Structures are given as structure tokens and as C-alpha cells.
Chain A
Amino acid sequence: MSHLDIELKQLKVATIELWNLVNTQLAKGYESLISMDKEIALEIISIEKRVNAYEIKVDRDCENIFALFNPVAVDLRFVLAVLKINTNLERTGDIAEGIAKFVKHADANFDKKLLEKTRVLEMFQAAQNMMDHVLEAFEKEDTHLARKIFKEDDILDQINRGATSIIADYIRINPDSIEQALYLLSIIRKLERVGDQAKNMAEEIVFYIEAKVLKHISKLDSNI
């Protein structure tokens, strides 16, 4: 194994470690939303510091590889992809932290009926599945799996689109729970962005393995 191969392998390992941390944040976010457990919410917020430290480390590793090894072709595309995935992961971590803050600040448990009606828990699971699948695609260098992510995002979009009217109806009937309802709408919006981040990462995986640019195309044709 060449020196560059070792560096690239270590970069991949660090990226996967960061990815697992972010996925853990999301999993705990789901848990905290069901149980309204503020301890779990605080745990998510504390993980965020490690996520940020990892982001800086991966950035610096990429910079070193560019400077010292002048990667080309698939190696170059890999480092470029990791650089962008790194940003996507950090933002996903921020989203999980944002959800945790809503749980932390919520005065009362979320109304179970509202959770059910908005399908937010289903959405949360779908977002987690997307993140798991895109990580698997990255680990296995599987572009077929990466491409499946685009279809998975449809459910997130669908739930997000329906959320506004459901929340508006709920507020009309329950004017005392406006704050809670708005928190939930914000969580739904954030989960929709998790789906976007996962799609961006899937695009980067296809870019680095196949040298194909899917950006801005996937919305038009998910079969590319």
C-alpha cells in the first residue's frame, strides 16, 4: 500500500467516525423527541463539540493530502468529495443539535396526536435511514445504493409539504399550544434539510466513484 493509499484510508476512517457520531446525534434526537428526555437532548448538544472537532480534523487532513500528495483522478475526486461530505455532516450535526434544543426548551411533552398527524416520527426514521444508507454506500463504494437515496427523499418532501396546513389547523383548534406546534414545524423543516444533506452526500459518492456530476439533475431525473 502506497503512502497516499494509507493517508486516503485514514481519511475515510475519520470521515466514517464523524458520520457515525452525526448518525448517533440523529438517533438520540429521535429518542428524545419520543420521550421528551432533556438529558438525551443535552447529550446531543455535547456531542456537537466532538463533531466540530472532527470536522476541523477532516478539513486539515484533506488540506495536507492536497499539499503533500497532489492527488489526481479518483484520488483527487475522493478528497474533494470528502471535503464536501465533511461540511454536509457538520451541518447535519447542527440540525440534530437544533432539534435537541427544541426538546430542551419545550415546556410540555409534544401532543402525541399532533406527532401522529404530522408523521414527524415517520419522517425522522426516514431521515435516519437515508443517513445510514448513504454511509453504507460510502463505506462500500456502492453507487447503486447511493442512487437509491434520491427516491427515499420523496417521503420527507411529502411530509414536509403537508405539515404547514396540519400545524395551522392544529393551532386554530389549540391556540394554547402555538409554541409547541411551531417547534414541531421547525423540526419538520430541519428533518427535510437532513434529507437534502444526505442527497448531497450521495451525489458526492457518485462523483468520486464514477466521475459523474449529478448535482441539480437528481431533482429532474432520479434514474440517472
Chain B
Amino acid sequence: MSDDIDMMTPDEQLAMDFALGGLDRAARRAADARLRSDPAFRALVEGWQGMLSPLDDATPAVAPPADVWSAIAVEIAPVRAAAPAKPAAASWWNSLALWRGLAFAGTAAAVIAIAQIGPAPVAPGAPPQMLVASLAGSDGKPLLAAAYDPLRGAVVLTPATQRDDGDKSPELWVIEGNKPPRSLGVIDIHGPNAHVISAQRLQGLSAGAVLAISIEPLGGSPTGQPTGPVVATGKLSAV
């Protein structure tokens, strides 16, 4: 039995330590980045989490006060009902107009090839259109290429450069017309990966919509709207 821990790989140890919660801030951050980009590592962590989570039954349940739900309800309310009244959204929107100008000034949308699209069931009617965007910072420097593949229901992200966002999470947003930004979720921009997004969020995604990336607290914006600096924007065009 005493040999067990000597036989563990570093990844197995890290997964165990992360799931238990004993890592310090820097190590957690590193492990969290691995989780997002490495399915094998994530499976190890999930194994430990699944084993340990029944322990939570020993923690006394505590009913939260009612205003917690009220605050959640505001954040998840449909955009058209909640947004016009929110000054925060309005001011964010104003600054968005600014980035659009910045982002489109010198950036042509890069067309990127996606080789591994398998034969997918094609729905009757018009074939779904592949959309691409090059997301660039205000200096015009491309940060990453994004391609929306409607057949896979995924946005494929290909970073053009490395970023170190420390203990922050980059979050992807889509802005359609005058509507407030909609989150497409926290993304990993350390390596190429397919980012699967729920069908509901992708509804109506079309050429002309703007993708933006903001830097949010670890795990994503706490408010459902961008709260951190916007590092890149780009417009979707049809391939």
C-alpha cells in the first residue's frame, strides 16, 4: 500500500490535489487551465470529484436568503426585458461602438480552413453556413481566429498569439445589432480547440454579428455581462 503514491504520475497527483482543494492559488490556476484544455486531465479530476462529492452530504444545508434568487433572476432574465433599463449595459454598449471602429479599421477577416469536419447530417433546406472571424486588439494585432461551424454547433478557436491572463478567464461574447452582448462562455485561448456552445445561445448567429473577448474573473463574468477589459473584437463573415 505504501507504494501507491510513488506510482502515481505527476498528473494523477495534481488531479487529486486539485479535486481535494489543497493547492495554493498559483497551482490551482495552472491546474484550472489544464482542465479546460486537456480532456484526459479533466477526466482524472472528475474521477476524484465524483469520489469525494458524497462527503458534501455531511455539510449542513443552509437555506440562502430570498434576495439571492432575486439577484440571479435579474441576471438570467431575457435580454430584451432586462437590458434597456440597465445603465451598466448601456455604458458598456457605448464603449463597444468604439471598439468596433477600432477592430474593423485594419483587419480583414481571415478565412481559416477547418479540415476535420466529418460528413454531418445535413438538414433539408438551405445548407448551414460556416462563419469566420479574425479577432484583433485595438492595435490591429490578431489575437485569434474563430470559426462557427453550424453542423457541429461549435465555435473553433485558433489562437494567433499567446496570452497570459493570470488568474483571469477570457470570455467570448457575441453582439448582434443593438442587443447587449450575449456570452458564449469562458474560452481557452492557449491552444486550438473546439468550443461547444448550446444551441439556444447560437440561435440566430449570422454574418455581421460581432465576436468580442473580454478578460473576466476566473470562471467568467459574475454578472452575465462583460465586466473586464475587451482585448479583441471581430466581425463574423460567411465563408
- Decide whether A and B assemble into one complex: no
Chain A residues within CB distance 8 Å of chain B: none
Chain B residues within CB distance 8 Å of chain A: none
